[in-house]
Amino acid sequence: MTTSAVRFLLNNDVVTIENIDPNLTVLQYLREERFNSGTKEGCSSGDCGACTVVIAELGKDSQTLNYKSINACISFVGSLHGKQLITVEHLKQGAKLHHVQQSMVDNHGSQCGFCTPGFVMSSFALHKHNNKPNREEVLEALAGNLCRCTGYRSIIDAAIASSEHCEADSFAQHYNQTVQQLNDFKGLPSAKLSNTRHCYFAPKSTAELAEKLLSNPQAILVAGATDLALSVTQNLAIIEDLVYLGDVTELQTLENSAEEFIIGSAVPYSDFTPMLHEEYHELGEMIERIGSRQIRNNGTLGGNIGNASPIGDMPPALIALDAHMTLQRGNEERKIAVEDYFVDYKKTVLKASEFIKNIYIPKSKPDQVLKVYKISKRIDDDISAVLAAFNIELKDNIVTNVRIAFGGMAGIPMRAKQCEAALLNKTFDSESVTAAQQALTQDFQPMSDVRASDKYRMKVAQNLIQKCYLELQSKNIETRVVNYA
C-alpha cells in the first residue's frame, strides 16, 4: 500500500482507493466510480435518507461489529478508511431477498421505490442490533428517511415484521472474517488521499493532528461532516486540505467520573447519548430529535460546538449545565467554558491551528433540574426555531441557582442573564415567572427567518419559562405533545 491511500471493505471486497479527489462523497464514489446505482441521490444534504448506506466498525473490544446507518451523500470518501461499507446491492443473495427487503415487499412498503433502498438500509442497521424492534425503536431508526408516497404505515409495519423472518444473513456468516479484516486494517498507516490539487489526511493521534495544524493552519477540520459536506454538495465549495478527526484516538474517548462526563470532541452522538440520557433524561430525549439516526451516527459534539450555529441544540444545553471544553494548539491546552466559546455569529475564540479536544459536562446535583425544550415545525429531523435549556436548583421553592440558555434567539447560543436574575433567590412562583418573561425581552431581540418569526421566537421562549414552571410545580401532568402516546 502506498502512503497515499484509503483502504476499506466494500461489502466483502477489500478496496484501495488513491488519486481520488477527497471532496468526493461516498454517494458520488458509489454511483460514479463503482457504478453502484442502488444507493439513490434524493437531496445531497443529509435530509432525506435515500442515500443511506451502512458502515460496520469494530467495537472497542475489537471483536464485535457496530453497524451504523449513515448518509452517503454527506460523507467524504476518506472517512471509509478501515471500515466496512455495506450497500443495498449486497443484501440480496442470489435470487433471495434479505429479510428486511422481503418484509418491505410483503407489507407493500414501496410505491415509487426511490426512497426504498435507504429505508431498507436503515432497517437493516436497526435489525443488526435489535432483531425485535418495537414501534418506537423503528421510528427512531427511520426518522431520517423521507417517503413521499406511502404515508409510512406500511414501512413501519415492514420494519417491525422483519423480525418474524429473521435469519442469519451473509454478514452474520462472514462475521468473524470481517472482524479479522477490520483488525488487519488497524495496522494501516494514517489515511491519506489526494489528487493533484486537494488532499485529505486522517491523523491517528492528537500529536499528529496538532503538528499538521501548526504546519497547515488553513486546513479544514472534519469530524462527522454532517454540516461541512453541505458546503461542498450545496454551495459547490472545494476544500483544498481536509483533516479528518474520526481516527484520532484521544478524541474518541468517553469518561464517566464521579463529578463529570468527559466526551472526546469526535465522539458521535450515538455513542455518548446513552450516558447522558441516564443522567439528564430530558437532554437525552432532546438529542434523539437532533438530526436523524444517520446524522447522529456521524455527527459529533465537537462539530456541533465547532460550527458555531446560532441554534446548535447542544450548546444551549451545555451552557445551561456550565460545561467546559479544552482547546489544544501545538502542545498547549486551555480550558474554557462552553459559554465563552461563542463570540458572534459564526465567530468563536478558536485560534488558528487550534482544535477542540474534550467537553466536560458536570453531573447533576441533588436539587438540580434540567429542562430542555426543542421547538421546531416538524418533530423529527428539524432544525429548531428555539432551543431552551433551564438548569435550576430549587430549595424550598426558592431558586438558589439558575442558568438559562437559548438557541435561535440571537446570533449565538447564549445565556438569558436578565431572565436568570429575575428568578435567582426568588420564590419560584407565577410572579417571578412573569418577571422572568419580561426580562427575556432585555436578553434577546430574535430575528425572523424561514423557520419562525421574531415574535414567535420571543413568545415561545417566554412561554417555555411558564411551561418549565408548570412542570416543576406539578410533575404528574402531561405537558408535551411530543411525549404524548
Instruction: Give the Cα separation of 288 and 269 in Å (integer).
Output: 9
Q: Which is nearer to other proteins, 320 or 386 (CB)?
A: 386
The one among 195, 451, 454, 472 contacting other proteins by CB under 8 A: 451
Binding to other proteins (CB under 8 A) within 155-174 occurs at 155-157
Using the rule CB under 8 A, is 262 a contact of other proteins? no
Instruction: Give the Cα separation of 419 and 428 in Å (integer).
Output: 13
DSSP conformational letter for 268: B
Q: Which is nearer to other proteins, 227 or 339 (CB)?
A: 227
The one among 135, 197, 351, 395 contacting other proteins by CB under 8 A: 135
For residue 181, what is its C-alpha cell? 479484516
Smallest gap, in angstroms, from Cβ of residue 126 to other proteins?
12
One-character DSSP codes across 171-207: HHHTHHHHHHHHHHHHTSPPEEEE-SS-EEEE-SSHH
Instruction: Give the Cα separation of 413 and 446 in Å (integer).
Output: 11
Q: Which is nearer to other proteins, 323 or 440 (CB)?
A: 440
Which DSSP helix (H) or strand (E) runs through 390?
Answer: strand 386-395
Smallest gap, in angstroms, from Cβ of residue 97 to other proteins?
6
Q: Are 183 and 62 in contact (CB under 8 A)?
A: yes
Binding to other proteins (CB under 8 A) within 86-115 occurs at 87-89, 91-92, 97, 101-102, 104-115
The one among 15, 43, 188, 207 contacting other proteins by CB under 8 A: 43
Q: Which is nearer to other proteins, 175 or 456 (CB)?
A: 456
Using the rule CB under 8 A, is 85 a contact of other proteins? no
The one among 152, 240, 241, 363 contacting other proteins by CB under 8 A: 152
User: What would the x/- binding string for other proteins be over residues 304 to 333, using CB under 8 A?
Assistant: ------------------------------
The one among 60, 129, 148, 346 contacting other proteins by CB under 8 A: 148
Q: Which is nearer to other proteins, 326 or 463 (CB)?
A: 463
Instruction: Give the Cα separation of 192 and 203 in Å (integer).
Output: 9
User: What would the x/- binding string for other proteins be over residues 228 to 247, using CB under 8 A?
Assistant: ------x-x-----------
The one among 13, 215, 378, 475 contacting other proteins by CB under 8 A: 378
DSSP β-ladder status, 199-202 and 220-222: unpaired
Smallest gap, in angstroms, from Cβ of residue 174 to other proteins?
19
Burial class (CB in 10 A: 0-12, 13-18, 19+), 59: exposed
Using the rule CB under 8 A, is 197 a contact of other proteins? no
The one among 281, 345, 379, 441 contacting other proteins by CB under 8 A: 379
Smallest gap, in angstroms, from Cβ of residue 158 to other proteins?
9
Residues ≥6 apart with Cβ < 8 Å to 393:
365, 367, 368, 369, 399, 400, 401, 402
Instruction: Give the Cα separation of 173 and 175 in Å (integer).
Output: 6
Instruction: Give the Cα separation of 80 and 413 in Å (integer).
Output: 33
Which listed range, 11-19, 44-52, 301-309, 420-428, lies at the site for other proteins (CB under 8 A)?
44-52
Q: Which is nearer to other proteins, 117 or 264 (CB)?
A: 117
Size of the site for other proteins (CB under 8 A): 90
Using the rule CB under 8 A, is 472 a contact of other proteins? no
Instruction: Give the Cα separation of 39 and 228 in Å (integer).
Output: 21
The one among 15, 149, 275, 369 contacting other proteins by CB under 8 A: 149
Helix, strand, coil share (%) of the chain residues, nearest 5: 35, 25, 40
Q: Which is nearer to other proteins, 284 or 362 (CB)?
A: 284
* Count of other CB atoms within 10 angstroms of residue 95: 5
DSSP conformational letter for 337: E
The one among 48, 245, 266, 283 contacting other proteins by CB under 8 A: 48
Using the rule CB under 8 A, is 352 a contact of other proteins? no
Residue with cell 438540580: 368
Residue with cell 413568545: 459
Binding to other proteins (CB under 8 A) within 380-399 occurs at 380-383, 385
